[in-house]
Amino acid sequence: MKILVCISNVPDTTTKITFTGDNTQFNTAGVQYIVNPYDEIALSRAIELCEGGKGTVTVINVGESQTEPTIRKALAIGADEAVRINAAPRDAYFTAYQIAEYAKTADFDMILCGRESIDYNGAQVAAMIGEFLGIPSISIIKKLEYDGSTATLEREIEGGKEVISVSGKFVASCSEGTAEPKIPNMRGIMSARTKPLSVADAKEIEQLSSILHFETPPPRGTVKLVPAEETAKLVDLLHNEAKVI
């Protein structure tokens, strides 16, 4: 079994988000980068499925050379090899196209992504890869079992879940519940240095969208405190002032 896991290099979850260049660019100064937390869940599930010599896990990242520490982290967690497509990701369409083109060169049984990246929050790449490859895509799964030929997945839906069965190749985007994120151990960190990390060139594709600028949400006014015994006053404020109940 061969599994391809797509990983994104994102700012640490505690990062204070600021912008430079007249709010056109994310301010990367002093920012720590991590493997996108949802991608880490996808990677952890892939490693579990391949445990005991049942298969190999390849991680793929579309990024420039500065994403390599993040890719090494994925190798330390337990991926067998890595590929970096050497390009700054322009949008999800570009990224998904690069991954799909790479996937065509190797016979992967499944491609796993995180449900979304925590920076641009597009939940687009997984389903786009599926469309580029003409295979099913299941978005926002919380469970994945695989018996060697058929996968059973649970997908989140409003107020419940849907159980889906797929025979043949597929793409899925993973959310919490799919696996417990694995933490790299010392042996993993040591071996990550020597695991294969190849670099491939990006392929050209038209650009369909671009981010023009960012803004941070307007600051909220000061909190209006209500004494603990005056819950009726709170209800009154929510009804008459905020008009939300």
Partner 1 sequence: MSVLVYVEQVEGKFKKSVFEAVSYAKAVADQQNTNLTAISIGNVAESELKTLGQYGASRVLNVGSEQLQQFVNQAYASVIAEAAQKEGAAIVVLSNSFSGKGLAPRIAVKLRAGLADGVTSLPKTDNGFTVTRTAFSGKAFATVSLTSAVKVISLSPNAFGVKESPADAIIENFTPDVKESDFSAVVKDIVRATDKVSLPDAEIVVSGGRGLKGPENWGMIEELAALLGAATACSKPVSDADWRPHSEHVGQTGIAISPNLYIAIGISGAIQHLAGVSSSKVIVVINKDPEAPFFKVADYGIVGDAFEVVPKLIEAVKAHKA
Using CA atoms, how far apart are residues 36 and 115, in angstroms rounded to an integer?
10
118 or 189: CB nearest partner 1: 118
CB 182 within 8 A of CB 84: no
Out of 56, 90, 156, 191, name the contact with partner 1 by CB under 8 A.
156
Number of residues binding to partner 1, judged by CB under 8 A:
85
216-235 mask for partner 1 (x: CB under 8 A)?
xx--xx-xxxxxxx-xx-xx
Contacting partner 1 within 157-216 (CB under 8 A): 157-168, 170, 175-177, 206-216
Nearest approach, Cβ of residue 13 and partner 1 (Å): 5
Query: Which tokens in the block code for residue 88?
Result: 């700054």
Using CA atoms, how far apart are residues 110 and 6, in angstroms rounded to an integer?
11
The DSSP result for 94-152, as a single string, is HHHHHHHHHHTTS--SEEEEES--TTT----HHHHHHHHHT--EEEEEEEEEE-SSEEE
Specify the 3-state DSSP secondary structure of 37.
helix
193 or 203: CB nearest partner 1: 203
Out of 155, 174, 197, 202, name the contact with partner 1 by CB under 8 A.
155
Contacting partner 1 within 56-115 (CB under 8 A): 91-93, 96
Nearest approach, Cβ of residue 233 and partner 1 (Å): 8
Those residues with Cβ within 8 angstroms of residue 213's Cβ, 6 or more apart along the chain or in another chain: 19, 22, 23, 24
122 or 184: CB nearest partner 1: 122
187 or 224: CB nearest partner 1: 224
